[in-house]
Amino acid sequence: MTTHPHKDYAGAKLGMWLFLFTELLLFGGMFLLYSVYFKRYPQEFAAGGRQLDWIMGTVNTVILLTSSLCAAMAVTAVQRDELRRAVALIGGTILCAAGFMVIKYVEWSAKIGHGIYPGSEHLKSGPPGESVFFSLYFITTGIHGLHVLIGGALLAWIALKIKGGEVNAGNDILLENGALYWHLVDLIWIFIFPLYYLIL
């Protein structure tokens, strides 16, 4: 049976780009909602942003940028048939994902420990804009964190495929699409970070 790798490659690539477009619509909607409420409550949003730890946010930004670099290098390694190196680089990406989630867990725990979470008495008794800010913060970073977990699991599965020889220099579309997904996760954080942590 004859296969058509170029046709399959193009179809898989197109399918992935279409999927990523729907993800952009999801987060684009949240960013649009953010902009509408920011215009209404600029001072409360700035006050909420000052309560977030920008150092942790910066560290997480560096972590995700590093993880994207590892993912891109893994694609190159597979294309050069350096499969063991590719698996190690994917491992680096997954390690970064774990580090990101640990920091996010610490951040969320600190906020919840101080009574700052959607529907809390602390936010109900404060200005409405502050409650809106933190509701959007928890929703946006929560959905993004879910994407980080999914991306990490996807890359771990792809690493097993590389070890099993199913993903190689002649058949790397699975890794390319996985890396594309991971780059999107990184790109979304690049927007989240300044909107929530660096707001003035």
Residue 10 pLDDT class (50, 70, 90 cuts): confident
What digits encode the pLDDT tens for the residues 150-188?
A: 999 999 999 999 999 999 998 999 999 999 999 999 999
Q: Which domains does the chain have, with CATH numbers?
A: 5-197 (1.20.120.80)
* Cα angle for residues 178, 74, 76 (degrees, 5° grid): 105
pTM: 0.92
